[in-house]
Amino acid sequence: MIRILLAAYIILGLASCGDTCMKYANTELRPQSFHFGMKEKHMEQVKVKVITGRNKDGKNEAFRTIGFPDLFEAAEVGDTVTKKAGETFIRLIKKDTVLTFKYYCNGQVVY
């Protein structure tokens, strides 16, 4: 009986997670727009990977890399991080190349 309840709890948890990341993609990520030079990267207390920097107006910017599994590792100080409103992907501009990172929700790319 305990195994059945535990399995049901896990299935419900995973199903609700899908709704959460899709809701984030559509209500928070898609409307965002930013363009900043990266100054540092760090992890917050809950193990959320954060990239920070300054935009062209000198304002500090921060982006939590949730849903972008490879962005944090690829980003280096001096790179430019950019995202246009209406899109779900992020561009990382390096000295000699531009990398594009797609947003993932439950292992699926969200366009």
Question: What's the pLDDT tens digit per position in 17-51?
Answer: 558 999 999 999 999 999 999 999 999 988 899 99
Q: How many CB atoms lie within 10 A of CB 39?
A: 13
pLDDT exceeds cutoff 80 at 7: no
What's at 14, amino acid-wise?
L
Average pLDDT over residues 62-81: 95
Average pLDDT over residues 92-111: 95
**Going along the chain, which residue ranges are E strands?**
34-43, 49-55, 60-64, 80-83, 90-93, 98-101, 103-105, 108-110
